[in-house]
Structure 1
C-alpha cells in the first residue's frame, strides 16, 4: 500500500475568499457524449461533463443492479404476488436464458456507462491538460484542475464498473487460472466497428488496477499541486474546489474521494487474493481514512441506525451520492416493497420478495440490524385482504422521507456504494486469510458488538455469516458466495398462515418447490456466471458464451 504523508500547507492559509463550487452539491446540469458527433470539451464545460460521469455511474446503482445478485441467492423468497418479476433470475430454471431482460439490462447499462468514462479518458482537451499536469516542474497555474479531477473520476468509475462485470459474468479470480479464464470484453476506446472478444480474468483485473492507480495518482497530485500553489499564494478557485472534493471532510462525501479509491482497492485486493493489502486498505478506512480523521463509524444504537438507514444522515458511508426529491437518477430496491396508496391517508405493500427464514434466523433477537431492517408491522396485500403484524418485510431500503412526497413507501435512498461496515468485513476476512486471526477477531467482534450481536470466534464460517447479515440487499451476496466457492443449500421460508374472519385460512404466501424455497445452488452451478446476452453474441461473433446457456 502506498504511504502518503499528508502535507499541512493549506492549514492557516486564507482560503475563505473562495466560494466552493464543488460536487458536494451536484448540479443537475450535465452533458453526455454522442458518439456520432464531435463533442467539444473545454474549460468552460468540463464540469458539466464531469457531472455527466456521476449521472452515468448513479444510473447503474440499486434496482436491477443490486436486486439480481441478491435474488439469485438465499436471502429472499418469491411471493405469490411477484408477477414473475425477477422470477427467472430467482429460480434459474429453464426460463432463465441468455435472453433474460434483467441480465441484458445490467450488461448494456454497464457498457453504456463505460462509453461515457472512455470518452473523458480519451478526450483531446483532457489529455492535453493531463500532459501539462504530469510533466516534471509543471506550471500548475496553466492547467485546468477540473479536467484532471474529471480524469481521475472517469478512471475510478471505469475500474468499479469492470469489477462489477467481472464479479457477475466471470469466474472468481483464482491466481492459478486467471490467465486463461474468460471474463468480459475490455473496451477502452470507442470504435463502432470493433467486435472485441472476451478478455481474461487476469487482463480485466489488471485493467482495474491500472485505472485505480491512475485515479489515485491524479488525485494525490492534485492535492500536492493545491498545497504548492497555496504556499506560493497562487491558489485558484479550481484547485481549491478540487482539494475540497478529493479529500473527504467527513462521512457521506457525495463526490469521489481518495477514501473511495481506497475502498475499491480493498475490494480489488480481496478479489485477487492479496489479503495483506486488502486488510491494510480496509484498516486505513476504519482508522479514519487518508486524513486519519474522517470519522467513519458504525451507527450508535437504534437511533443511529435510523439516522443512517432511514434518513441517510449517518456516519457509515464512505461515498454517498446526491439525490433530491425532484431528481432520483438511480434505481430503487423496490422488489421488497411495492407500495400502493389505499385511500388518501394509508397504503399497503404487495412485495415481490420477502426475507427467507434462513436470513431472518441468522440474526439474534437483539441484533440492531434485525430490528431496523425488517418489520412485521407493514400492511400486506394477500388475496385481497390487508394483513398486518404477520409477514416480515425487508425495510433496509424503505425510503428516505425527504425523497418522497407521498405516504406510500417508494424505496428511494441516497446511493451508498461503499460503507464502513464492509471494510470491517474485508479486514476480518483478509486478516484471517493472511494468517492474522487476532486482527480478524478484533474487527469481527467490533462490528458484532456495535450491531448488538454476540461476539464470536473469527472462523471463516462466522465471518461469512456476518457478511450475510451486514450486507443484505447491497448486491454483494452473489460475489461473496462465488468468492468462497460454497454455493448454498436451500432458502427455506417462514410458514405464514392467517385465519380470516370468514373462517378461511390463508397459507402459501411463498410458493415452495425445488427451484424456490428448496433451491440448491452448489459452487459448481453454471449460473454463478451470468449469461452473455444473446443479442450481443448475435452482433459479435467473437464473443464466447458462458457454459450452460
Structure 2
C-alpha cells in the first residue's frame, strides 16, 4: 500500500468509504512509485492543486455578508451555513473533509518516503520535505478551526477536534483527537518546516508554495490563535523582515488579494467560487466601519450593483485572486500581539504603518490622534475592527469572531430572522455527515 496512486496529471482520487469502514480509501487508476526528488515534487504539486472553498463558505456564518436573495437558486447552496445548520435539509455546498485528508495523505507520504529520494540536492530535498510538514500543519490548522472548539488553554486538553493521521496507514480507523493534541502536532510540523525550507520567497509563478517567509507568516497566525503573544509578535516580525511591502492606495488601486500583488506572501487558497461570492452582499455592519471619504478601501474593495447594493470586488471568482498570507495581516498580527503584551505604542506603530497606505493623508492625521487615545480593551477592539476592514472576504472574519468574543449574530433570510447566541455551540461546525457515516468513531 506504500505507493501513491496517480491518474492523468498525477491526481490521486479519494473514494467514499467501503463497508469495512476504512478511514481513508484509495481508488487505483494507474500507479507510479515516486523515487526521485522530481517525482515527490509532482506529488506535492498534486496536493497544492486540490481545491478547497471552506473559508468562503464559513464566511456566511459571520457578520460580513448579507445574502443576495435575487440569486434564488444559489441561495440554497449557502443557506445551511448562513443559518448555522451545515447538515441541514438544503442540498448545498459542504465542507471539504475528504480533500483535507487527501492533502494530509500526500504530506504524510512525502515526509515518510522522500528522505530516501534520489536525483536532487540535499537543499532541494529539505525544501520539499519542509513544504510537506507545512502543508500538513496548515491543513490541520484549518481543520481544527472548522471542526474543533476555539483554542482555550483551560479546556483544550479535553475539547474534541479532528483525527490526527501522521503516517501512511490505509487500515487505520481514527478517533477524534483533542484540540491540544492537534495544535501540538501543528506546532511540531511548523518547527520542522521552518528548519527545513530554505527558499525565502518563490517567484510569482510559484507563489502558492510554502517558502520561509510563508512559514513565519503561518507561525504568526498559529501563535496568535493559541495566545502565545510573544511568539506571535516575533514570528510576524520575522515575516516582515523578509517582506514588508504594502500597496499605497493613495497612488494605486491594485488589489492586494491578487496572486501577484506586492503584498503576497503566499498565494495558495482561492476561498470563493462563483456562487459563494456572487451571492454575497457586503453587510451594513462591515460597510459602516469605513469612513467612506477618508478611507480609500471601500472604493477599491467593493462595487455596487444596479440596486445600489454593495458587492465584493476584492475576491472575485478567478484563479488570479488567491491569498493565504499577505503582509497586511502580519502588521495586524504584530499589532494585536503587542496590544496583548501591554505594548500600546508598538501596537499603534504597526497599525499606522498599514493605515497610512489605506487612508488619505488628511484623514490619517486625524486617525493617528484618535488612535493615540486608545489603550487596553479599546485598542484591542480597534485592532479587531481594523482586521474586519482590511481582511474582509479573505476567510478571516468567522475565525476572528470564534477566537475572540463569540458575539451574538443575527441573520435575515426570506423575511425570517435567525440568531446565533453569544458563545453558541454552533460557533463550532459539525463534522460532515458523510464523514461520520464512513467513520462512526467521529461521533465519540
TM-score bucket (shorter structure): 0.7 to 0.9
SS at match of 2:347: helix
* One of 7, 20, 33 as aligned partner of 1:40: 33
Going from structure 1 to structure 2, the CA distance change for 1:184 and 1:254 (only over 3 Å counts) comes to closer
Equivalent-residue separation in structure 2 for 1:211 and 1:31 (angstroms) = 25
3-state DSSP class of the match of 2:246?
coil
SS in 1 for 2:440: coil
Cross-structure match for 1:467: 387
SS in 2 for 1:308: coil
Structure 1 equivalent of residue 21 of structure 2: none
Q: Is the 8 A contact 2:61 2:398 kept in 1?
A: yes
Distance in 2 between residues matched to 1:391 and 1:57, nearest whole Å:
35
- Structure number with the higher helix fraction is 2
Following superposition, the deviation at residue 216 of structure 1 comes to 1.4
TM-score, reference length from structure 2: 0.83
Moved more, 52-61 or 144-153: 52-61
User: Aligned pair in 2 of structure 1 residues 266, 332: CA closer, same or farther (>3 Å)?
Assistant: same
Contact preservation (8 Å) 1:30, 1:49: no
Change (3 A) 1:430 1:512: farther
Specify the alignment match of 2:352 in structure 1: 445
8 Å Cα contact 2:35/2:117 also seen in 1:
no
How far 1:54 moved relative to its partner?
A: 3.4
Call closer, same or farther: CA 1:415–1:48 in 2, change over 3 Å. Answer: farther
Partner of 2:230: 276
Rounded to whole Å, the distance in 2 between the matches of 1:73 and 1:305 is: 27
Aligned partner of 1:247 in structure 2 is: 200
RMSD between aligned alpha carbons?
A: 2.8
Q: Does 1:77 align with 2:30?
A: no
Secondary structure of the residue that 1:267 maps to in structure 2? helix
* 8 A contact 1:60–1:110 mirrored in 2: no
On the 8 A contact 1:58/1:330 being kept in 2, the answer is no
Contact 2:201-2:213 within 8 A present in 1 as well: yes
Against the structure 1 CA distance between its residues 430 and 371, is the aligned structure 2 distance closer, same or farther, given a 3 Å change threshold? same
Q: Which residue of 1 aligns with 2:18?
A: none
How many angstroms apart in 2 are the aligned matches of 1:250 and 1:488?
Answer: 43
Does residue 1:116 correspond to 2:106, yes or no? yes
Once the two structures are superposed, the pairs formed by residues 423-438 of structure 1 within 5 Å of their partners are 423-438=330-345
Q: Which of 396, 412, 417 pairs up with 2:314?
A: 396
Q: For 1:543, what is the secondary structure of its paired residue?
A: helix
Distance in 1 of aligned mates of 2:289 and 2:273: 22
Which residue number in structure 1 is paired with residue 239 of structure 2? 285
Distance 1:420 1:142, change over 3 A: closer
1:397–1:413 contact (8 Å) kept in structure 2:
no
Q: Following the alignment from structure 1 to structure 2, what is the Cα–Cα distance between the partners of residues 444 and 331? A: 26
1:150 to 2:137 alignment:
no
Whether the 8 Å contact between 1:332 and 1:412 is mirrored in structure 2 is no
Aligned CA distance change for structure 1 residues 153 and 460 (closer, same or farther; 3 Å): same
- List alignment gaps of at least 5 residues for structure 1: 1-28, 131-140, 224-245, 322-328, 338-350, 379-386, 399-409, 493-509
Matched, 1:513 2:420: no
Q: Is the 8 A contact 1:86 1:102 kept in 2?
A: yes
Q: Larger Rg: 1 or 2?
A: 1
The alpha-carbon deviation at position 159 of structure 1 amounts to 0.3
Q: Deviation string for 1:80-124 (max 9, x for gaps)?
A: 22422211101225x744997533x3222211221111121122x
Superposition deviation, residue 424 in structure 1: 1.2
Q: For residues 330 and 436 of structure 1, do their structure 2 counterparts lie closer, same or farther at Cα, with a shift above 3 Å needed?
A: closer
Q: Deviations along 1:302-328, whole A, 9 cap, x unmatched?
A: 55342534x64431111125xxxxxxx
Secondary structure at 2:139 match in 1:
helix
TM-score of the superposed pair, with normalisation by structure 1: 0.68
Aligned length: 405
Gaps of 5+ in 2: 1-7, 14-25
Residue 138 of structure 2 is aligned to residue 160 of structure 1:
yes
**Displacement of 1:77:** 0.8
The answer to whether the 8 A contact 2:11-2:46 is kept is: no
Please point out which of 165, 184, 195 is paired with 2:173: 195
Question: Are 1:483 and 2:403 counterparts?
Answer: yes
SS at match of 2:93: helix
Which of 68, 71, 86 is residue 57 of structure 2 equivalent to? 68
